[in-house]
């Protein structure tokens, strides 16, 4: 029976059917193989291409970010450098100002020259009275806007003492005697007017037997304080 079946199957009557069936099987097999290849090879290849493109994009973005970081670092370094230079300049400027305000710097400018002595060289000088008059003169000059004052080249600062020392007058620890030359830097016209006012300081001084001369000048030189005042009890307060 089997033999008869196969004989009939391969008989010429069934040849077209067998041919169509073979072609159909071949087509199905081909499609299956192609699908398997696309899944096994094509899909991973496509996925790898996507990952490759993403990697390249991330690398380009990372390079761009690195460039931005370097640029920001340069800008930060420049800002720091500028800030440090500005801070240093500010500190130096403040130091120069406080040295000037404290009287530790040689200064020059317009002002007045005041000569004080006695009318008669043979006259006995009342040094206690003269010491008081010099202290009052410094006050008058400060009130008239003097920015720097010296007496016989001794710079007057906040710690300066003008006191009687026997037959001499002690200024900054140095003993001085007549004649006295007082220098003051400031508005020369204002200081001259304050000193020479009617019934003012110079008039009273002359009435007491002193020779006083006041001269205006466009070029007055005053030396800085030669020394360093000691502060034993006063200490800087901490910044809150």
Same domain, 181 and 139: yes
Same domain, 122 and 142: yes
Among 105, 135, 151, where does a domain finish? 105
Tokens at 4, concatenated: 């008869």
Lowest mean pLDDT among 23-37, 68-82, 148-162, 204-218: 23-37
Give the pLDDT score at 124: 75
Q: Write down the pTM of the prediction.
A: 0.64
CATH of the domain at 189: 3.30.70.1880
Q: Is the pLDDT of residue 20 over 50?
A: no
CA 223 to chain centre: 30
Same domain, 71 and 117: no
Lowest mean pLDDT among 50-54, 126-130, 163-167: 50-54
Same domain, 165 and 88: no
Q: Is residue 161 part of a domain?
A: yes
Q: Provide the percentage of residues in the chain whose pLDDT is more than 70.
A: 66
Q: Domain containing 21: what range?
A: 1-105
Q: Is residue 154 part of a domain?
A: yes
Domains in the chain, number:
2
Q: Is residue 172 part of a domain?
A: yes
Q: Cβ distance 153 to 239 under 8 Å?
A: no
Closest CA to 184 of 134, 112, 115: 112
Give the pLDDT score at 51: 64
CA atoms within 13 A of residue 107's CA, in its CB half-sphere:
26
């Amino acid at each position: 029976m089997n033999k008869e079946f196969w004989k009939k199957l391969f008989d010429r009557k069934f040849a077209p059917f067998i041919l169509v069936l073979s072609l159909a099987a071949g087509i199905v097999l081909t499609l299956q193989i192609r699908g398997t290849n696309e899944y096994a090879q094509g899909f991973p290849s496509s996925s790898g291409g996507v990952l490759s493109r993403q990697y390249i994009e991330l690398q380009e973005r990372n390079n761009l970010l690195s460039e931005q970081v370097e640029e920001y670092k340069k800008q930060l370094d420049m800002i720091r450098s500028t800030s440090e230079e500005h801070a240093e300049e500010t500190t130096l400027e403040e130091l120069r100002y406080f040295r000037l305000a404290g009287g530790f710097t040689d200064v020059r400018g317009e002002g007045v020259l005041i000569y004080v002595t006695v009318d008669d060289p043979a006259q006995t000088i009342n040094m206690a009275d003269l010491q008081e008059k010099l202290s009052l003169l410094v006050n008058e000059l400060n009130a008239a806007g003097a920015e720097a004052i010296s007496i016989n080249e001794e710079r007057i600062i906040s710690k300066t003492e003008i006191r009687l020392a026997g037959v001499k007058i002690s200024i900054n620890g140095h003993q001085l005697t007549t004649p006295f030359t007082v220098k003051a830097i400031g508005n020369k016209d204002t200081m001259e007017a304050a000193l020479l006012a009617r019934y003012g300081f110079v008039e009273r001084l002359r009435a007491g037997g002193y020779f006083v001369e006041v001269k205006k000048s466009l070029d007055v030189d005053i030396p800085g304080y030669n020394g360093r005042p000691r502060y034993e009890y006063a200490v800087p307060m901490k910044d809150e």
